[in-house]
Structure 1
Amino acid sequence: MRTCIPIVFLCIHSVAAIYAADLLTIDDGVVRVGIDREKGGAITWLSSHEYPSNIVNVADPGRLIQQSYYAGRRLNRVTEGQHKAWSPWSWNPIQGGGVGQGGDSGTWSRVTQFRKTESSLYSETIPKLWDMADEEADAVMRQWSTFEPDMAGVVAVTCELQAMRDKEDRWGGPTKNPQETPACYFTRNFDDVRSYLGEGRWRKEAQPTGPPWGKTMPPRKAMAMFEASGQGVAVFSPTATQSWNFGPHGSGLSDQPDVGPCMHVAPIDRVLMGHQTTYRFRYWLVIGDETDIAKRLDMLWGKYSQEQSQVTHKNSQ
């Protein structure tokens, strides 16, 4: 029996090491943010010194804080395994993975690069098409996450999609689609939703349980969600050009990140997406109470209100 103890210890230690390697995090003393190798390299952890629990809903590949894009015409592919609830559907690569079938929670996207430095995180992902159980998209997603200089509690994220579709594929030619910049899902207890108006002013937003989601146009390109104690998370997306999607899903005010009920917000840009388009943008996550978030959002607006996304098309679209 004594000879087994070291072996068991080593096995447990190895499993713990593997699990730790799948979640990379960085911390600036105020906020902690993490990406998960097993969940498409998307952001799966967000917490703060004042709210140490995870804010991000990770119940399935469609949640998280992640990249999600749309292009081409909507197709009915049910006979090929497309989920009936998501048919017909356009070309929709998402960082997390594909929708589940038959009660499973879906399939996660494949991560090809995954690393961190002291203050940054990087992932490179082959995304899945959302409407299918396990179909990789002809695309690569890249993501850089770091902290905004001289702004404690602010995470800056750069996202990039490189579409590599065949010009003769079934989805057809270029289309100008709404793009989520990004898609965000938080725990259900962050149910106090507000648009930021600037200089410490907020507009409360209300929406019945969805989907469908509500729509609103925040004038300072920022929305926040707060929980009962006053802690909140804001999304600032200066390249958004359309009304944002937002709202609750499910009942109750659960603070658990792995259950169905959640809160959703997605800034929206409208972009011409062709077969071989590269699309790049930045957004910011701000953690804190109402006063702290307002102060940071004013500073971000002063620095980045004129920022634009970058769109390039390779060869003829």
Structure 2
Amino acid sequence: MPPLNAYTLSVVMLFTWLTVVSADDLVHIDRGGVRVGVDRGKGAAITWLSWPGHPTNVVNVADPGRLIQQSYYAGASLDRRAEGQSPAWSPWTWNPIQGGGVGSWARVVDAKVTDGVLYSETIPKLWDMPSEEAGAVMRQWTAFEPAMDGVIVVTCQLTCQRDDRDAWGPPKPRHQELPACYFTRRFDQAKSYLGNNQWRDENHPPGPPWGKANPPLAAMACFEPDGQGVAVYSPVSKGHWNFGPHGTGDSDNPSDGPCMHLAPIQSVTLSPKSVFRYRYWIITGDAEALSDRLDQLITLYCKESFELTR
């Protein structure tokens, strides 16, 4: 992964036309009609994504577990109902969520745009608890990929700050969502990308439980009936991706309960003091545009790996 300073410099040199939009708690970057943003009131996870072919927001924001966000798992599964743990999520692992926990949003330390890069810093909450901050810090850098229209690159970093002798115990291999994505329910046509403009339909009834797909090139997309789609390329993922609709209907309202889920998966062992860092890409447009950009990204980044300090 290139150093952030070098990457930021390349963005500034190659793209001088970049507008920044801030309203209320939203912080956006915008290029060529593609807009991506985070919300200071919602953990500074990605809460907005739109483009000329779909000018309204495609990100589901119905609760802190939705959004496009960082989500990690570590340690043992614990029954903490006596401490207020949600019965629906018990027993549960150490699971810091960028958006927040059940019923509460995470605390944002910073969210700003500098030299075309949208930076955010969040103190995540544990998903299974109503309002318990995790011993961790999440940082995120969101920018546009140089020389590729409609492509966003997101760098994620988790710094674990757990007590070495806490209740979750020693490190265990756990499936990580890299990242966790929730789109509006209208984008319910899931497809794996096979390369050279070839796609494979992936079908699953409404969940959870979610379906499992095995995209050979670490890329999947969700399309709506008019042919617009949003693709995720996560070269650090290995094996299956979780995917599937939740609820029924074809709502395009980001605040509605029904949604579409997509999550690249990789097994990573996080210790109480781990620092974990990876990148993924979001691509917008119709199938032809997605295919063209994915072919370019795969050529450039298929050997990308995550960074883990234990």
| TM-score tier (shorter) | over 0.9
The aligned counterpart of 2:15 is none
**In structure 1, what is the Cα distance between the partners aligned to 2:213 and 2:286?**
22
Q: How does 1:92-131 map to 2 (within 5 A)?
A: 92-99=95-102, 106-117=103-114, 119-131=116-128
Structure 1 match to 2:147: 150
Query: Alpha-carbon deviation of 1:119?
Result: 2.3
8 Å Cα contact 1:232/1:287 also seen in 2: yes
Q: Alpha-carbon deviations, 1:26-60, whole Å to 9, x = none?
A: 11114110011000010000000111010000000
Instruction: Report the count of equivalent residues.
Output: 289
CA contact (8 A) 1:279 1:309 kept: yes
Q: Post-superposition shift, 1:118?
A: 5.4
Q: Tell me whether 1:215 sits opposite 2:206 in the alignment.
A: no
Q: State how far apart, in whole Å, the 2-side matches of 1:118 and 1:162 are.
A: 24
**Alpha-carbon distance in structure 2 between the residues aligned to 1:249 and 1:118:** 38
Deviation at 1:21, TM superposition (A): 4.3
- Counterpart among 46, 69, 74 of residue 49 in structure 2: 46
Contact residue 215 and residue 243 of structure 1 kept, 8 A:
yes
* Residue among 20, 23, 30 paired with 1:20: 23
The runs of at least 4 aligned residues of structure 1 exceeding 2 Å deviation read none
Structure 1 position 264 matched with structure 2 position 261: yes
Max radius of gyration: which structure? 1
The one-letter amino acid paired with 2:76 is R
Corresponding residue for 1:70?
A: 73
- Residue 201 of structure 1 and its aligned partner are, at CA, apart by 0.3
Shift of 1:113: 1.3
State the one-letter code of the partner of 1:210.
G
Instruction: State the Cα distance separating 1:151 from its structure 2 match.
Output: 0.1
Matching residue of 1:273: 270
Work out the CA distance in 2 between the residues paired with 1:53 and 1:118.
Answer: 26
Aligned residue identity for 1:54: N
Q: Which stretch of structure 1 is more off in the superposition, 117-126 or 133-142?
A: 117-126
Give TM-score scaled by structure 1 length: 0.90
One of 90, 115, 118 as aligned partner of 1:87? 90
Q: CA separation in 2, counterparts of 1:175 and 1:218? A: 26
**How far apart are residue 114 of structure 1 and its match?**
1.1
Give the gaps of 5 or more residues in structure 1: 1-18, 100-105
Distance 1:134 1:250 in 2: 26
CA distance in 2, matches of 1:31, 1:285: 11
Partner letter of residue 83 of structure 2? E
Provide the secondary structure at the position in 1 that maps to 2:200: strand
The answer on 1:162 being equivalent to 2:165 is no
The 3-state SS of whatever aligns with 1:26 is strand
2:29 partner amino acid: I
Q: Deviations over 1:293-314 (max 9, x none)?
A: 000000000000000000001x
Residue range with higher mean Cα deviation, 77-86 or 116-125: 116-125
1:93-139 CA distances to partner (integer Å, 9 max, x unpaired)? 0000011xxxxxx1000011111135220100000000000000000
User: Residue 31 in 1 paired to residue 34 in 2?
Assistant: yes
Provide the rounded CA distance (Å) in 1 between the counterparts of 2:92 and 2:188: 29
Indicate how the Cα distance of structure 1 residues 109 and 97 shifts in structure 2: closer, same or farther if over 3 A, else same. same
Is the contact between residue 26 and residue 118 of structure 1 (CA under 8 Å) also seen in structure 2? Answer: no
Deviations 1:267-290, CA, capped at 9 Å, x for gaps: 011111111001000000000000
Q: Tell me the distance in 2 between the aligned counterparts of 1:245 and 1:50.
A: 26
The letter of the residue matching 1:186 is F
Asked if 1:132 is matched to 2:129, the reply is yes
Alignment RMSD (CA, Å): 0.9
Aligned counterparts of 2:70 and 2:44: Cα–Cα separation in 1: 10
Cα distance change, pair 118–29 in 1 and its aligned pair in 2 (3 A): farther
- Tell me which of 236, 239, 242 is aligned to 1:239: 236
Q: Secondary structure of the residue that 2:23 maps to in structure 1?
A: helix
What is the rounded CA distance, in whole Å, between the counterparts of 2:33 and 2:197 in structure 1?
21
Determine the C-alpha separation between the residues in 1 that align with 2:239 and 2:174: 11
